[in-house]
Structure 1
């Protein structure tokens, strides 16, 4: 294989201060925390099978959005009955996020479900890719035995073997301060994969496209406002990566803001073919806290190398 070339873009030094959202959206602040679209779950503390409590239908919608179940009868999806199907979905969620699978909306479950996250579902085509499967991977090195929890999309889509040089571009609404963090994220994936990445002008065709969007932006996965879904992207070879423009973004760790590079690392993982991991320290773990900065983890690196047989 030819030697890889990474084409860096000009990096702008920034002081680590909160950065305003794109456009004219309202800046979030500590007083805005209660506006999170996931905060309704806090009112369901202690709910369990047999309960009929206001807003349970919203919990059903939340779990359905991320792939945990789908009611054949829409009436059940819209009611507030805590039934067997919902209990089973909550237990599955709890297992995926390393919580005791009680089926009860307890404090730990509330803490995790209200944490902002990637919009890519955890379960696709009724297959739970966050749980160990027949093709789960084990490795042993220096007498240390580990189990990997990386996963792939259904049917394991990936870029063809002849396609190791990928171009990317920013659409015109992406501000200057957001571009260098994304470029750094590409460089980190470059260092552990067979891929090379090059930024091309906005008006040029490219393999990958990065943009900032609000609410319904016509890709079938509308954003939900501050504090909910932070970003999403698509499996190969779709190439689209979207940030939610209503979030408060930053460069580096800033209280109350989300690190652009951390989310870029996660979403590029999806662009290359990785699904979510249940390893909390992995970049492909689905949730992200404000002020959190993460990097590639051995689980992520093992996963991408396994997908492309490196």
Structure 2
């Protein structure tokens, strides 16, 4: 990982411990301008040092969020934008200060080897219609979906009972789980992942995970999205892409968009 990215991710991780707001609020709490500032700094739309008393900075940050999400760029914290900021989402940032976005997707860096191992450490206690074997299958399918378009990639499972550490390590965790990026309970952020050459993928164990239903948090979408990060992809500004940061709910026949395919093939050329 490049030094500037490592430093930026450390600052984001530190912020994760401080802020309660992460794309969602407790029931009955009104969304405020201060909540918006927290969101902007957390997901890279403002610098941590930016002046929170500057209306110009605030409006620019609102416009950046609106532009990335494909919303109307008004610069106003209107109902549409508030609803966007309260949408469940991935905890990874959308904007890296030192990166110049020349494409709709952003890239971290690829793994030096394309023969990758993976391990799932545990299973969630809260599910709607998912079994442990169903979770295993979704993870396998998610890995295989990326490999369809990057055929040099191969994945092999390491048993959770093995002492061997895998390249990509997945687990379900709650609240503060020791990586500097605390989860926030049901709703809000659903998961996060770390880029090569870290490869950790964490799902919020307080969510009610599901498959093939609009109820709960759809594990199919979240798993393939977070594995995309673990393979080196950042968030995409293209609505409908797997790497779009906002949770869009259950979709039958989940597939990669052209934007996702372009990203994974730039990291791992065919």
Q: Quick check: TM above 0.5?
A: yes
2:267 corresponds to 1:280: no
2:70 corresponds to 1:87: no
Asked if structure 2 preserves the Cα contact closer than 8 Å seen for 1:216 and 1:222, the reply is yes
Tell me the residue number matched to 1:31: none
Separation (CA, whole Å) in 1 of partners of 2:153 and 2:48: 41
Tell me the residue number matched to 1:191: 148
1:38 Cα deviation after fit = 3.5
Runs of 5+ consecutive residues of structure 1 not aligned to the other structure = 1-35, 45-54, 137-148
Q: Which protein is bigger by CA-based radius of gyration?
A: 1
Runs of 5+ consecutive residues of structure 2 not aligned to the other structure = 1-22, 125-131
Tell me the residue number matched to 2:10: none
Tell me the residue number matched to 1:172: 122
The structure where helix makes up a greater share of residues is 2
Tell me the residue number matched to 1:110: 82
Q: What is the CA deviation profile of residues 231-252 of structure 1, one whole-angstrom value per residue up to 9, with x for unaligned ones?
A: 1101111110010111111122
Deviating more after overlay: 235-244 vs 292-301: 292-301
Tell me the residue number matched to 1:59: 36
Q: What is the CA deviation profile of residues 9-64 of structure 1, one whole-angstrom value per residue up to 9, with x for unaligned ones?
A: xxxxxxxxxxxxxxxxxxxxxxxxxxx833689845xxxxxxxxxx3222111111
What is the TM-score with the length of structure 1 in the denominator?
0.70
Distance 1:71 1:265, change over 3 A: closer
Asked if structure 1 preserves the Cα contact closer than 8 Å seen for 2:186 and 2:207, the reply is yes
RMSD, aligned CA: 2.3
* Alignment counterpart, residue 107 of structure 2, candidates 152, 170, 176: 152
Paired residue total = 237
Partner of 1:236: helix, strand, or coil? coil
Separation (CA, whole Å) in 2 of partners of 1:63 and 1:41: 22
1:104 Cα deviation after fit = 0.5
Asked if structure 1 preserves the Cα contact closer than 8 Å seen for 2:116 and 2:156, the reply is yes
2:224 corresponds to 1:265: yes
